[in-house]
Structure 1
Amino acid sequence: MRLRVRDLTSATVLTACSLALLLQAVLTADITTVEFRIIGVRTSLPQLGAAGALAMLTAFAVAHLAPTTWLAGTPTTSAPEPATGTLIRRGYLAAAVAGAVAAALYGLATGTSVGYDYSPYLKWTLGAALPLAACATVIAATAPRIPATDLPTWLERTRPAVVHAAIATVGIYLMRAALTISPPVDWTGMPGLIGSAGAALLGIATALTASRSRTIRTITAPGLAIGYAIVFTSNTSSALIVGYLFTLTWWGIQLTAHTLRLAFPTAGQALRHFIDKQTS
C-alpha cells in the first residue's frame, strides 16, 4: 500500500469545493425586503445540498487517510488486523458524525447569513449528506471484518474520486454564475455559453461518478455532457444538480455493497444458492 499525494490533498480539495458552492449560494442569494424586513430569499437549494454532500465526501477522504497511512508505513505486506480494523471503524464512524454535523452547520450558517428561516437550507444540506452518512456507518461496522489480504484493494476502491467532485463543483459554480451574472460571467459576458459549459462539466462528472467501468464512462460521459449543455436553463439547472446528488448517493451504496461482500463472502454465496434453489 502506497501513500500518494492525492491521499494527502484530497480532503483539502474537497473542503475547498464544498465551501465554494456554499459561499456562492449565499453570496448570490436574491433577498427580498419590505420596509427593512426580509420576506423572502431565493437561492439554489440543490447547490446547498451539493455543498453538504461534498462536506460528507470530505469526511470520507479523512477516514480513508488513517488506515492508508498505517498500511503504507508498515514494513510487511499487511498490517495487524486489530489495529487496522480499529482505525477503519473509528475513522468511518467519525466521518458519519462529523460529515453530518458539518452539513447541518452549512444549513444553519446559510439561514444566519441571509437572515431568514434556516429550515429549507438545513433540509437540503443535511438531506444530501445523510445517505452518505448511513453508508459510512455501515462501513464502520462491517469493514473491520474484511480479510487483511483484501484491505489494500478495498482501500484503493474507497478512495473518493476528488477529480470527479472538482469537475462537478466547477460545473455547478459556472451554472450558478451564468444564472446570477456573477463572477466570472460578469467579467467575460456570454452567460449562455458559460452556463452550458458548466452543465456539460456536471454531466461528465455525473457519468464518471456513476460507474467504474471505462467502457460505460466512455459512452455516457460525452452523451451526458452534450445533453446537459443542450437542456440547461434556469428551470432545469436544479434538476441537473439533483441528478448528481443521486449519483453521489449511488456511489456510496455501491461502496457499501462492495464492503459487505468482502466482509461476509459466505453470506453472498448462501444467498445465491438459496435463489438458485428457489428458481430451479
Structure 2
Amino acid sequence: MPAGDLHLAVDISAWWTTAVYESGGTVQPVVFEGRPRLPSGVFQARDTRALSTGTPALAASVTHPEDYRPDPMTLLQTGTPAPGARFDPVAAVAAVLVQVAEAASVQAGSTVTALTIITAQTWGHRARQRLHQAAATAGLPPPHIVTAAAAAAAAALSGSTLTGGTRPGSFVAVCTTGDATPELTVIDAAHGFQQLAAAPVRDPGAPTVDEALIQLAAERATPGTDPSAALDDWRVAREIQQARTALAVQPRAPMLLPEPHPAVVLTRDDLAAAGAAHLARLRETVKQLLADADLDPSEVNAVVLVGDDGTVPEVQAALAGAGLPPTVTVRDPHAVLTGAVRLSSPPMGLTEAPVRIPRTRPMLGAVSGAVLVGACSIGLLIQVVSGAPAVPLPLENVTLSAALAALTAWAVALLAPGGKKQPEGENRLRRGFVAAAAIGIVLAWLYGLVAGVSAGDPTETSLRSALAGAVPIAACAAVIALVAPRLPAAALPEWLRTARPPALPVAMAALGVGLQRVTGTDLPLDMLGATLLGIATGLTVPLAPTLRLVTALLLGAGYALVSATGSMRYPTIAYVAVLAWWAATTTATAATATPRAGTRTG
C-alpha cells in the first residue's frame, strides 16, 4: 500500500469491536482511549434521538437498558430494527464505523482510503448492500467483506506454503468458539480462501452453551425461578460472555444478575458441562461438513481454532478426537483482522463483485423549501425593479431579497448528499456549501447592480445594501464547508433536516414586505403585511418552539400597530438580522457536532 494510504479493517462482533489499520506496509491495532477494543453497542437517547457508541453508550444503558442494542451487526444482517428501537440498523452500524475510523485516522494521521469489514458468516446480497450503505453513511470507502473464518485462516497460515495457490488440496478447517455453540468452516486456502462449507456443532435437543449457563445461574441465584426472562435480557448474556472469557484463565468467575437477584459464581466445570452435549456431536459434524465440501479427511491440511474463552481446551480435544490435524489456536482478534487485511490487499487481494448502494433521494420538503425561498427572493427583486424609478428605491427590500438569494444557495447545498452515487473520497456537502458561499455573494452583487440601474441611482448604495444581507449568510456557509468533512456521518441526516431554512416563515415575511408596497386599494394591506412580517420574524428566531410562538404573536400585534404610524423599514432590516442569527446558530450546531481529536471516548 502506498505511503499515506490508510487501510482500515474492522470487526464489529456481538459484544466488542476491534480494528487494525495498515499504513506504509505496517499493521497496527486501533486503540480506543488506551484500550484495544470498545463495546459494539449503540444507544439512542429518547429525547434527542441522538446515537452514541462505545463506552458512553454502555454507560447510558445502565439506566435505560431498553434503549441499547449490543449487536448492531446482527440487526444489519437481518435488516430488521431492534424491538421497540427507533434507530435503523444502517445508522447504528454507521455510528460505530464513524468512531472506529476517527480513532484510526487520529492514530495514523491520515484519512481512511480502504476499508475491510469482517462478518461472522457469509452474508447474502441484500445484507451486503446494507453494509455498503452503512459504510457510505459513515463517509468511508466501499468495504471489502471478509468472513471471520477466512480471515482467521489467512492469519494462522501467514507465510505458509498453503497459500501459494499451486499445491492441490490446500484446505483448512476453521472452528470458532465463544458463540452459542462452536462453528466449523472449511476454507480453500489455495483459491482465494473461498468458503466451501459451514455448519454449527450443536445437539438440537440441548440448550446452547449460553442458555445452559443462564439457566444454571438463575437456579443458583433463586432456586425455582423461571429463567425465560433472563434468556432475553442482553445484560445477562453479556455477563455470560464475560464469565466465559474469565474462565479461560481462572477456575471460577463471578456473574452479576439484574436486581433483585444476587450474584452467582460459575466454574470451568459448569462451562464444560454446558458444552458437552454439543462437542459430543463434533465428530459427526466434521464428517458431514467434509461431505458437503466434497473432501476426504486426509485433504484437510490444517485446523485453526479461534477463540479465547474457557471452552478452548475441550474443543481442542474434540477436534483431535475427530481425526483432524493438530490445531493452530488464534486467540487475539487483532490477528484475525490482520488476516483480513492480507486477504483484501495484493497479492492475495480478493475480488469482490461491486454492491450497488441504494439511491439516496433528496427529501421533497428540502427541494420545495429551496424553490419557495428562491421564488420569494426573485419576487421581491421584481417588485423593487418594477416600482423604479417612480418611487424611491427601498434599500431594505434589496437587502432582504439578496439575503434570501444567499439563503436559497444554502438550501440547494443541503441537497448535495443526495443523488445516484456516493463517489469515493468526495464530500459533496462541503463542496455544496463552498459553492453556496460564492454564489450567495455573486447573486447579491447582481441584485444590487440590477436594483441600482433600474432606479437610476448610483449603484454603490444598492450594492452595499445587497451585500449587507448576503455576506453574513455566505460567511456561515463557508464555515459549514470547513467543518462539514468532520460532521459525524450517523448524525448527518438529522443535521441536514434541522439546517433547512425556515421556508414558510420566509415566504410569510416576503409576502408581508411585498404587501406594504401595494398601492391603489382601500384594503389595509399595509397592516396585514406588517402583521405577517411580525409573525414571520417570531417564527424564524432560533429559540425554543414555545418562545417562538409567543414572540410571533407579540411581534405580529406590535408590527400591526407600528404600521399605522410610519415606515416598516426597520422591521424589515430586523428580519434580515434574524435570518443572519438563524444562520449563525445553525452553523454553531455543525461546528460543535464535529469531534475533536482525543475527545471521543471508547
Measured against the shorter chain, the TM-score band is 0.7 to 0.9
Cα offset for 1:234?
7.1
Which of 386, 395, 400 pairs up with 1:27? 386
Q: Secondary structure at the match of 2:501?
A: coil
Q: Which residue of 1 aligns with 2:398?
A: 48
Q: Distance in 1 between the 2:566 and 2:599 partners?
A: 44
Q: Secondary structure at the match of 2:414?
A: helix
Q: Is the 8 A contact 1:26 1:110 kept in 2?
A: yes
Q: Which has the larger radius of gyration?
A: 2
Instruction: Give the TM-score of the pair, scaled to structure 2.
Output: 0.38
Q: Which residue of 1 aligns with 2:413?
A: 63
Q: Is the 8 A contact 2:389 2:456 kept in 1?
A: no
Q: Distance in 2 between the 1:268 and 1:42 partners?
A: 56
Q: Which has the higher strand share?
A: 2
Q: Which has the higher helix share?
A: 1
Q: Which residue of 2 aligns with 1:103?
A: 444
Q: Distance in 2 between the 1:66 and 1:104 partners?
A: 24
Q: Distance in 2 between the 1:143 and 1:250 partners?
A: 20
Match runs of 1:252-263 below 5 Å = 252-263=583-594
Cα-to-partner distance string for 1:63-116 (whole Å, 9 max, x where unaligned): 01111x24xx68xxxx78944xx1111000000000110110001111222222
Q: Which residue of 1 aligns with 2:214?
A: none
Q: Distance in 2 between the 1:200 and 1:82 partners?
A: 49
Q: Distance in 2 between the 1:217 and 1:148 partners?
A: 30
Q: Secondary structure at the match of 1:205?
A: helix
Which of 516, 534, 555 pairs up with 1:224? 555
Cα-to-partner distance string for 1:21-54 (whole Å, 9 max, x where unaligned): 11111222354xxxxxxxxx71211011000000
1:123 and 2:464 correspond: yes
Unaligned runs of 5+ in 1: 32-40, 270-280
Cα offset for 1:257?
0.8
Q: Distance in 1 between the 2:599 and 2:449 partners?
A: 42
Q: Which residue of 2 aligns with 1:161?
A: 502
Q: Distance in 1 between the 2:547 and 2:438 partners?
A: 34
Read off the aligned partner of 2:522 and give its amino acid letter. Answer: G
Larger mean Cα displacement after TM superposition, 113-122 or 247-256: 113-122
Q: Which residue of 1 aligns with 2:528?
A: 197
Q: Which residue of 2 aligns with 1:274?
A: none
Larger mean Cα displacement after TM superposition, 223-232 or 114-123: 114-123
Q: Which residue of 1 aligns with 2:75?
A: none
Identify if the C-alpha distance between structure 1 residues 137 and 198 changes in structure 2 by more than 3 Å, giving closer, same or farther.
same
Q: Distance in 2 between the 1:80 and 1:216 partners?
A: 42
Q: Distance in 1 between the 2:448 and 2:568 partners?
A: 20
Q: Secondary structure at the match of 1:176?
A: coil
Q: Distance in 2 between the 1:221 and 1:13 partners?
A: 21
Read off the aligned partner of 2:547 and give its amino acid letter. Answer: I
Q: Distance in 2 between the 1:132 and 1:267 partners?
A: 31
Cα offset for 1:218?
2.0
Specify which structure has the bigger relative contact order, considering alpha-carbon pairs within 8 angstroms and separated by 6 or more residues: 1
Q: Which residue of 2 aligns with 1:94?
A: 435
Cα offset for 1:169?
0.6
Aligned residues: 241
Read off the aligned partner of 1:204 and give its amino acid letter. Answer: I
Identify if the C-alpha distance between structure 1 residues 117 and 163 changes in structure 2 by more than 3 Å, giving closer, same or farther.
same
Instruction: Give the TM-score of the pair, scaled to structure 1.
Output: 0.80
Read off the aligned partner of 1:257 and give its amino acid letter. Answer: A
Cα offset for 1:165?
0.8
Give aligned-pair identity as a percent.
39
Q: Distance in 1 between the 2:585 and 2:424 partners?
A: 24
Unaligned runs of 5+ in 2: 1-359
Identify if the C-alpha distance between structure 1 residues 135 and 212 changes in structure 2 by more than 3 Å, giving closer, same or farther.
same
Cα offset for 1:137?
0.3
Q: Distance in 2 between the 1:263 and 1:81 partners?
A: 21
Q: Distance in 2 between the 1:218 and 1:117 partners?
A: 41
Q: Distance in 2 between the 1:234 and 1:18 partners?
A: 27
